[in-house]
Amino acid sequence: MTEKVAGGASLRPLREEDLPTLFEIQLDDTAQRLAAFTDKTAHDRDAYLAKFRKILANDEITNRVIEVDGTIVGSVAAFPIQGDMEVTYWIHRDWWGRGVASAALAGLLDEVTVRPVFGRVAEDNAGSVRVLERNGFVRVGTDEGFSEARQETVTELVFKLN
């Protein structure tokens, strides 16, 4: 099953054999700083693989790989947390600024029709804020959290799509 989204990208279910590539994509320091709310698995390949094997076994979580011309350029997911559905996405740095995240999130939101759905971003992650806004999310609040990637407390913006 492959779903075409805009900008030449397509979504397909994430498989275990994709995990090493996705680990390498998320290893980028600039990306980790931007995302801010990473965890200890971000630099630990075995821990990352173990975490994602559990995630893949959870059928309440929708994980999609984003491909352009058969190359994996990132991932997008929707997962339940404390009773809410939340989205997350990560794009290879070489592909930033080409509309891939916006199109991938739009494709995911066609598949995952549960509403409301939430998104959370570090307040200075302007690209991610735009990705949510372009998909109709509106800002509903803020939170404070400790950023593993930055080793400091970071303000997080909470977005909601009804």
Q: Which is nearer to ligand COA, 30 or 162 (CB)?
A: 30
Compute how many residues bind ligand COA; rule: CB under 6 A.
Answer: 21
Structure tokens given for 24: 């390498």
Q: Give the residue with the Cβ less far from ligand COA, 63 or 128.
A: 128
Decide: residue 21, CB within 10 A, 0-12 exposed, 13-18 middle, 19+ buried: middle
Q: What whole-number distance in Å separates Cα of residue 99 and Cα of residue 68?
A: 12
Q: Is 62 in the site for ligand COA (CB under 6 A)?
A: no
Which residue stretches of 12-95 are H helix? 19-26, 29-35, 45-57
Q: Is 102 in the site for ligand COA (CB under 6 A)?
A: yes
Of residues 101 and 154, the one with the C-beta less far from ligand COA: 101
* Residue 143: both structure tokens together: 């939170």
- Does the protein bind ligand COA through residue 99 (CB under 6 A)? yes
Binding site for ligand COA (CB under 6 A): 31, 34-35, 89-91, 96-102, 121, 125-128, 130-131, 134
